[in-house]
Structure formats: structure tokens, C-alpha cells
Amino acid sequence: MLRKLFIPLLVCGALYLGALPFLTAYELQTAGIRNDTAALASRVDLPLLRANLKRHLAEVLDRQLDGGLRNTPFSALVDSIGSTIIEPLVDQYVTEEAITLVMQGNNPLQSRQRNASELGGGKRLLDGASMRYTSLDRFTVTIDNGTSLDRLRLILHRRGFRWVLAEVRLPV
């Protein structure tokens, strides 16, 4: 009797583990819609997210320099100013509140300039999003729903049996 239950329980457990990042992505969206920053914070590794975003923005700046500014007298100035500007901006703008706005489908940079009554009411962030495993411990959600956050990629990392938002790739 025990052997007959073992295989179905093993299959159900594997299916549940495989579905966890999908569930985490929808939990992030639900927490954003409810303005539940505590629930959102439990699914976001904020220090790692900030560090990864700083690295991503530095790479984008470096690519822009390679595109035409690298051999000019301004390249060293842009390099030094870029790192000086990126770090405090990321620290200021990557907060639980900004992530909540993103999960509501709003652009946090545009949302800071509008009233709270004008925000929300748009499409759900994950409507039209593609989700896939990129490795055993990374899961990518690519937003493609016609909002101002189109082509934004949210990357979840596995922490034991939990998944947390650890990277954001901007559509640049």
C-alpha cells in the first residue's frame, strides 16, 4: 500500500516544486496590487536586486560608451560620473514602494510625478508575460503587455525551496 502512494506523492511533489517560481511571480503581482509591501519584501532580495541593477546599468553605460564616446575626451568623465550617479539613484529608487508600483503595472519613474488616484487601473503586469526557467536556480519573467514596462525582465533566483526577485533587466 505504501509503495502505491510513494510514486504519486513523488510526482506531486516534483510538480509543486516546478510550479513554485510561477506561484512566486503571481504572489509578487498580487502583493503589488494589494499594496502589501511586507508580503512583497518577503519575496524580494532587495540588497541583491540593487547590486544586480547597479551592475546592469553600468554595463548599459559601458555599451553606450562603446557606441561612440569611447575614443573621445569625455569617456573618462562619463565613466566616473556614471558610477557616481548610478549607485545613489539605484539606492533611492529601488525600494519596496517602487517594486510595488512595478507589480501594479506602473512605471515608478512616471508614477512619482502623478497623484495616487491616477495610478493603477491598467493591465495586470503579468498579462501577456512569458515565464520560463533559464536554469535550475533562475527563472525569467519577460513583460510583454504593451505598458510602459514592456520588455522588462524580472529574474527570480532560487533560495532553497523559495524563489525571490533578485534581478531586473531594463529594456534598453
Residue 68 is predicted with a pLDDT of 64
Residue type, 111: S
In angstroms, the CA 16 to CA 9 distance is 10
Of the candidates 120, 144, 134, the residue with the CA atom closest to the CA atom of residue 166: 134
Read off the DSSP letter of residue 146: S
Reported as a single tens digit per residue, the pLDDT across 83-116 is 788 888 888 888 888 888 888 777 776 655 544 4
Q: Where are the domains of the chain?
A: 15-169
Reported as a single tens digit per residue, the pLDDT across 47-84 is 999 999 988 888 887 777 776 666 677 777 777 777 78
In angstroms, the CA 125 to CA 142 distance is 10
Strands 138-142 and 153-159: antiparallel
Residue with more model confidence, 146 or 136 = 136
Transcribe 94-120 into DSSP letters.
-SHHHHHHHHTT--HHHHTTS-GGGS-
